[in-house]
Amino acid sequence: MQDKNENSYKTLRSQMVKNQIEARGIKDQRVLDAMRKVPRHVFVPDAYVESSYSDTPLSIGYEQTISQPYIVAFMTESLMLQPRDRVLEIGTGSGYQTAVLAELADSVFSIELIPHLADAAEKVLRKCKYRNITVKRGDGYRGWPEKAPFDKIIVTAAPPEIPEMLIKQLSDNGIMILPVGVYSQSLILIRKKQDRIVKEKLIPVRFVPMVKLKK
C-alpha cells in the first residue's frame, strides 16, 4: 500500500467517508470534507499503513491508539466547530484528530503526555503544513490555562470523572466532548451556559485511560 499514489489514497478516503461515516449518519459537510482531505495513512505506524482506512482503531505504540474514523467524525461533528473557534485537544496521540480539527477551526492547542508521541505528531503535522496547531507535552488534567478560555474542548482518553479544571477553561457557550468511565465508558457532551453546565450522554465507547502526570 505504501507504493500507492496519492490518487489511490484519495479514493480510499472517499470510500472510508461514504461507507464508514456518512452511512452511519454523519451529515456535517465540513466534517466530511475534512475527513476526505486529511491523509490518515501518514498518522499511523508503518506496520499499519495498509489498515489505515479500515473501520477500526489502530495501535500507535505506548499503549495508545488512533481512533476509529467514525468516532473521530462523530466527536468532531458533535463539537459544532466554527471557523473562528479556538480548540483545546487533550491527547494528541498520532496527530490525526488534531489535523481534522485544524481543518475546521481557527487554532488548535493540543496536549500530549507521552514525549515521543508529541514529538512524532508535531513532525507529521509540520510535514502536512498545518500552521494553526500548537502541541505541548504535559498533563491533560491541567489543561492549558495560559491559553484559556477555549470555545471547544475535546478529550481523546477516558478519565474516570470529568476533570473540573477543563470545565473551568471552557468559554461561555463552549462545548466539550470526552469519554468518561473506567470499566464502562460513555461519550459525554458538555455545554457551558454562564454558570450552568449541561451534560448529555451520547454513545458507549472504549478509549484508553486518561493518565495523570506522575510527580
Catalytic residues: 67
- CA gyration radius for the chain? 16
Determine how β-strand 150-155 pairs with β-strand 170-180.
parallel
Are 155 and 166 in contact, with CB atoms under 8 Å apart? yes
Cis status of the peptide bond prior to 149, with omega within 30 of 0: yes
Q: Return the HEC string of the chain.
A: CCCCCHHHHHHHHHHHHHHHHHHHCCCCHHHHHHHHHCCHHHHCCHHHHHHCCCCCCEEEECCEEECCHHHHHHHHHHCCCCCCCEEEEECCCCCHHHHHHHHHCCEEEEEECCHHHHHHHHHHHHHCCCCCEEEEECCHHHCCCCCCCEEEEEECCECCCCCHHHHHCEEEEEEEEEEECCCCEEEEEEEEECCEEEEEEEEEECCCECCCCCC
